[in-house]
Structure 1
């Protein structure tokens, strides 16, 4: 039984739910940040709930009292409710860090994303990396993890494959190794224990986009039909969206389309296979029909 008390911010998200489960299984005392009372029912083994809004500093007062470690996966992929990446990914985490510093928390782990430090020109990373810089410069032991795409993000391929054809930009040979949330949660805790300052984290299978497309089609029992679009369509789309829409609209598309134009290979961890995840997702969707 570990005596450390931990706070999980972002607990209701894809990774956060796995992280809470992993920490409880290892015997940690866990407090989670939630936005409203009704979210309590999503958790069955949590020691303490703190209700507050990450973007409202006043509402976080006391959140880190008695806490040894903070884990934050706070961030948004799609901007909504009038919130920007800077409001949530940067300012929200900065608000949390200020509380952690005030209460002399031992260590703070933040989940950014692979290559975020190299792609600061993207709206989504501009905010994340501004916080990373602030965290590293602070007087707290920091751990920055840079995961590859989550298995849940790969549902975009499954959704395309359902129609019988997957569209890719370029030749489809760029590679990535997405990771399951349960595997990533284990790494999060392990790296905090080890005191690692920074690490890229991916799954066990390194796959090309073509292989990803084929796995998605196979899961639906569809023949291999992959259309390769010229890369100029991708670059032109990004330029047009930047010129004609707000960051709320173009942010997620810019991120996805930029990520598709290079290899994204992180250190390999875990045991879950994407093929199994795809098959389980399709099975679940078919059962709903």
Structure 2
């Protein structure tokens, strides 16, 4: 069978870089969307670069010429540089979809987030799920994956643990199964090949928030010190932020605090363990940074 030609949009982000490597290892011809010439250095084995701004339709004309499949991890965790969730997560992906439809692309995969379809009242999900609805109604063959938190998102626990104590809202018994970008990239490709329409994706370890906090403290070789704050403080913080700040400020915090208030368990995949990830982060000098490595747009 002739190798598929694929486009990866969001290739410079945390998941995007793993996805490019996975596709190349499987023999796909890969084109990546980048915003500037300097970003070419991020990639060693790419067949074609397309320079453009996903939020500017004219700059991405022709991006899907001769492309069979589109993989989009386009999205931002924090609104900055004047860009909103609607600008990037919705409109940017919508612009890309229009190009895919114009060039009769065979299939389009989009990465949303776990429970996005159930939490559309959150600013970040409002935009993502608006695009999901548009994609489903477009007529193109689609695949929507909703991953759990990335291992890189769990660095927030490491940040707190480095100081010797982790703070949690409630009793800390809500569960989640975060996933490594490498494992998620494999699932992305496998689900596209299998023609799966929609699925949640998480890692192999289902952990309580308390257990994640313990792993973070152990990685720093700190005593287990976890403080549990009453849940009303979480709700109060959300209310204050929504009332007195803009969505640029409260969007990512609203998402994080809301997700902390119930179980987030997705279908388990992969082979990487969060404990190993934490240990490696500390061994690499403890240079901990919050959030994902870069905006995926």
TM-score (normalizing by structure 1): 0.98
Shift >3 Å, 4+ stretches? none
Q: How far apart are residue 2 of structure 1 and its match?
A: 5.3
1:83 — aligned with what?
Answer: 83
Distance 2:90 2:206 in 1: 31
Alpha-carbon distance between aligned partners in 2 of 1:171 and 1:159, rounded to the nearest angstrom: 20
Alignment of 1:60-75 (within 5 A): 60-75=60-75
What is the alpha-carbon distance in structure 2 between the residues aligned to residue 42 and residue 153 of structure 1?
21
Q: Aligned-residue CA RMSD in angstroms?
A: 1.0
CA contact (8 A) 1:147 1:201 kept: yes
Match of 2:177 in 1: 177
* Partner in structure 2 of residue 253 of structure 1: 253
Asked if the contact 2:281–2:287 (Cα under 8 Å) also holds between the matched residues in 1, the reply is no
Alpha-carbon contact 1:2-1:28 (below 8 Å) kept:
no
Alignment map for 1:146-225 (pairs within 5 Å): 146-225=146-225
SS of 1:285's equivalent in the other structure is coil
CA contact (8 A) 1:148 1:265 kept: yes
**What whole-Å deviation, never above 9, does each CA across 1:26-80 have from its counterpart, x for those lacking one?**
0000000000000000001000000000000010100000000000000000001
Contact 1:2 1:27 (8 Å CA) reproduced: no
Residue 179 of structure 2 aligns to a residue whose secondary structure is coil
Q: Residues 1-289 of structure 1: matches in 2 within 5 Å?
A: 3-286=3-286
How many residues end up aligned between the 2 structures?
A: 288
Higher relative contact order (CA 8 A, sep 6+): 2
Unaligned runs of 5+ in 1: none
Aligned partners of 1:217, 1:123: CA distance in 2, in Å?
32
Contact 1:2 1:26 in 2 (8 A): no
Decide whether aligned partners of structure 1 residues 108 and 287 sit closer, same or farther in structure 2, where only a CA change above 3 A counts.
closer
Give the superposition deviation at 1:146.
0.3
Q: Supply the distance in 1 between the matched residues of 2:2 and 2:165 (Cα, whole angstroms).
A: 49
